[in-house]
Structure 1
Amino acid sequence: MANVCTKLTGTVRSVRLFQIDGFTLVAKTMSTTECIKSRWNVDGYEWEIQCYPAYYDPHDWVDFKLMFLGEARSSNVRASLGCLLIHPRIVSHVVEKTVSHVFKRPKDCSAGISLLRPGSSLPVPASLKDDYLIVQCTITIVKELPEPANPVPVPPSNLHRHLGELLSSGTGSDITFVVSGESFTAHKNILAARSSVLMAEFFGNMREASAGRVVIEDMEAAAFKAMLHFIYTDTVPELDWKLEAVATLAQHLLAASDRYGLDRLKVICESKLAGGVTVDTAATTLALAEQHNCSHLKAKCVEFIVSTPEILDAVVATEGYKHL
């Protein structure tokens, strides 16, 4: 497959009606070398459709040819002529005939298209107004499309990496959080851009607006650190571990994300907890889901608890259920 060459092509098509009034008279008075011409411009090329009506008598056919009048912009021009006979007194042979040709120079001409087979002549017109011939002609040109230029490779976004490094280094930090005895430095502008709650705290009328140090109560340091990393990078690497190892962190992080209006992080935690409800975590997770309005997580917990009488009894016996 590595050696296959693909040629990109497209088509340009033009359709018109070719009408000859007084067709019977024209066919009987013109010689077989005379033709009626119609010039078209398709895709910037000049074309000429030639109709030879004298072939109608005595051989019962009308001949159409396509002539190329322009200069090929490339080595050659591939085109076809399609002809469809349209006449109120003919209904049995309405079939489009097509001839294709590769035109290389001006006045190159295609082979002829015979619309009426020998022995199937046109009926005698009932009146002069019915003495005509209409042919729907279609010129189709095959264009070779230019090969698409190789795009300049664009490296993937690394904004999250740079912001993560900024958080780790603490360069330019202007706020310090104290959580469970641990200190975390950060940048007010970035925090406010990600959290409407922190926007109100730092740039509203709250006392934290001018503070350089904020003490946060009722939150685990590990949960705050993971939340801070998410604010800067939009990722939570800790939640990539198995749920058994991070169930408690996911619960604390869900509460923290709800507290600070981090909706995406909240959904990530809810999805993580919903994917692995166990007897030990069902009651505490249910209480958490109810408290923080997580309807999907709540439904998963209830579904698990009542799934069997044995599981229900086991959950009721847990410390979490007593607190619930």
Structure 2
Amino acid sequence: METAGTTSLTDAARLVQLLKIDGYGTTKAMSNDRCTIASEWHVDGYGWEIRIYPDASTYPHPNSWVALDLTFRSHQPRTGRPYVRATLGCRLVDPRGILKPSKEKTETRLFCRSGDSSSTLLLMKRQDLEASGYLKDDALTLQCTITKPAVPSSNLHKHIAELLQSEKGADVEFLVSGESFAAHKAVLAARSPVLMAQFYGDMMEKSCPSVEIKDMDAAVFKALLHFIYADDDTVPESAVMAQHLLAAADRYGLDRLKAICEAKLCADIEVETAVATLALAEQHGCGQLKDRCVEFIVGSPTVLDAVMATEGYRHLEASCPSVLTDLLARAAKKLKRA
């Protein structure tokens, strides 16, 4: 593989490269494990690796695809945040300029530590590629892009957060586990679609000056309010708080807070917490966290045995048999490969 050209847009933290792959036909005789092409990148001070799979087969897509993924190759993010957000983009181009570039496909993910990979980007089916004009002289050219979004700083969140602290203009009171919290309906509704419906829809709390929140600790609700007002991406200190806050974020439609908690939990999986975190991920639709838990549990026979001996595993057998079935299937698949 050769790099046909490079353009760096440093202010936007974006890098674009043309990657030419020669000998495309030889990939048909190679297994999926061997048929991988890697390209090292450096964007905004971070190391990245784009892996290209000319003959990928990914469930539930039975056909062979030209596919890619993005892997983080740096240590802990240096910004103080627990993650780096990056987007992988790719499209096929015709170096001759005869064909227009194909439609760009993208994958975005939060990267927490070295080795984290994005979901597989399915670029084009092999049969479609081979029938197109992008494959010329047994070679194809990909235009790949890595973008690390740069968001201008703003102090709006500081002013909004001051409203929470001062309680000026508060028009609703929440009662949570014996504690009360004053807040502003308009701010809450602007941040949460659930609270928008609760206060400005047809729900009964529309005109109520107080709302009781059940099944939630006061400390969790206080942290939830702080995020709603301050948009603070500070990571919860404990994994237990991150678990409760993730569930609360999902309950109120706060996707960014949910992603922050998911990233925290992805980095803090241990034998004693793996099964509980796996069940949480299944319950709240956190695919990345679920995959990380499964990877940890089936990572070695020793870890698998230790996890199966925990109380959490026995609870999972009774409460989430579908998750257990998936877990054991992946473990069997890994052992078969070994």
TM-score normalised by the chain length of structure 1: 0.49
The structure with the largest alpha-carbon Rg is: 1
